[in-house]
């Protein structure tokens, strides 16, 4: 018998998959504290930004107040450039990511998993693959295959997944910036990620008609951000959204 489900059942069963990118220092890591029961998979020392100061950005927010004190963190360390380590130690980040996938398939402790930054995690993996080949081009081929499979596996998980990325600026033949998008090493991954996820959110400062400057998530391209990439597959989000991850997730799901 065919197991035909309602679209809302499918969405809730597989979670929301988001690619978030923005300028350095705008608060992408802090944004992770605004989700319920999160796991932060961190490759950066930027977790130091998760402190009591965050509470001033989100006053009277119970989710943020809890996460500042109790947020779970899994660290992915870059060890490939340390020549004193064994091959097994160098490959430890890959093993850790595989173990994470297997854990998330069967455990419902965490509602949302945030990779911060996914750009840096990809570069850590690339550094590992470079140590295994003589031609660096083969390392990029391996990275494309392995990371593509990893992203697909994340898309099938029941948790909400957020890939926090750095900015990539593509230039035209005259050296002018023609496109700004989430950054990943290798052209193929760079182009594929926006098509694989449900949402591509740009985290930027915006200025309103009165000249007030504030942080916002840009969900759809407009004239002010025409050379950026943004996507709202669900269609439930406004062009500019307040940067609160749990509220975004709830709105996407139609809660």
Structural domains in the chain, CATH included, are: 7-253 (3.40.50)
For 143-156, the pLDDT digits (tens) are 899 999 999 999 99
For 198-228, the pLDDT digits (tens) are 999 999 988 888 888 888 999 987 666 678 8
Say if CB 117 and CB 164 are below 8 A apart.
Answer: yes
pLDDT score at 68: 85
What distance in Å separates the CA atoms of residue 17 and residue 160, rounded to the nearest whole number? 6
Distant-in-sequence contacts of 245-250, Cβ < 8 A, 24+ apart: 245/31, 245/32, 245/34, 245/35, 245/112, 245/162, 246/34, 246/35, 246/36, 246/63, 246/112, 247/34, 248/18, 248/199, 248/201, 248/217, 249/16, 249/35, 249/112, 249/160
- Mean pLDDT (the chain) is 85
Distances (CA, A) of 128 to 80, 132, 166: 5, 7, 20
- What is the arithmetic mean of pLDDT over 136-142? 88
- What is the arithmetic mean of pLDDT over 89-99? 84
> Lowest-pLDDT range, 45-54, 68-77, 139-148?
45-54
Phi then psi dihedrals of residue 156, to 5 deg: -90, -5
Q: What is the pTM of this model?
A: 0.89
Say if CB 202 and CB 21 are below 8 A apart.
Answer: yes
Minimal CA–CA distance to 160: which of 28, 248, 68, 30? 248
- Higher-scoring residue by pLDDT: 30, 18: 18
pLDDT score at 223: 61
């Amino acid at each position: 018998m065919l197991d035909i489900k309602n679209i809302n059942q499918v969405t809730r069963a597989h979670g929301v998959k988001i690619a978030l990118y923005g300028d350095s220092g705008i608060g992408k890591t802090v944004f992770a504290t605004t989700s319920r029961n999160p796991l932060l998979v961190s490759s950066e020392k930027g977790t130091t930004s998760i402190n009591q100061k965050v509470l001033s950005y989100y006053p009277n927010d119970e989710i943020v107040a809890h996460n500042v004190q109790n947020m779970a963190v899994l660290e992915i360390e870059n060890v490939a450039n340390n020549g004193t380590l064994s091959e097994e130690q160098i490959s430890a980040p890959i093993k850790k990511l595989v173990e994470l996938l297997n854990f998330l398939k069967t455990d419902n402790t965490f509602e949302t998993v945030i990779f911060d930054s996914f750009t840096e995690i990809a570069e850590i993996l690339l550094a590992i693959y470079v140590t295994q080949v003589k031609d660096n081009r083969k390392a990029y081929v391996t990275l494309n295959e392995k990371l593509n499979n990893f992203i697909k596996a994340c898309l099938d998980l029941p948790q909400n997944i957020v890939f926090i990325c750095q900015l990539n600026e593509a230039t035209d033949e005259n050296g002018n910036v023609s496109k700004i998008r989430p950054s990943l090493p290798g052209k193929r991954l760079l182009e594929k990620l926006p098509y694989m996820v449900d949402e591509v959110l740009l985290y930027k400062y915006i200025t309103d008609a009165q000249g007030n400057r504030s942080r916002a998530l840009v969900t759809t391209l407009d004239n002010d951000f025409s050379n950026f990439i943004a996507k709202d597959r669900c269609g439930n989000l406004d062009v500019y959204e307040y940067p609160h991850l749990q509220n975004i997730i709830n709105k996407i799901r139609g809660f």
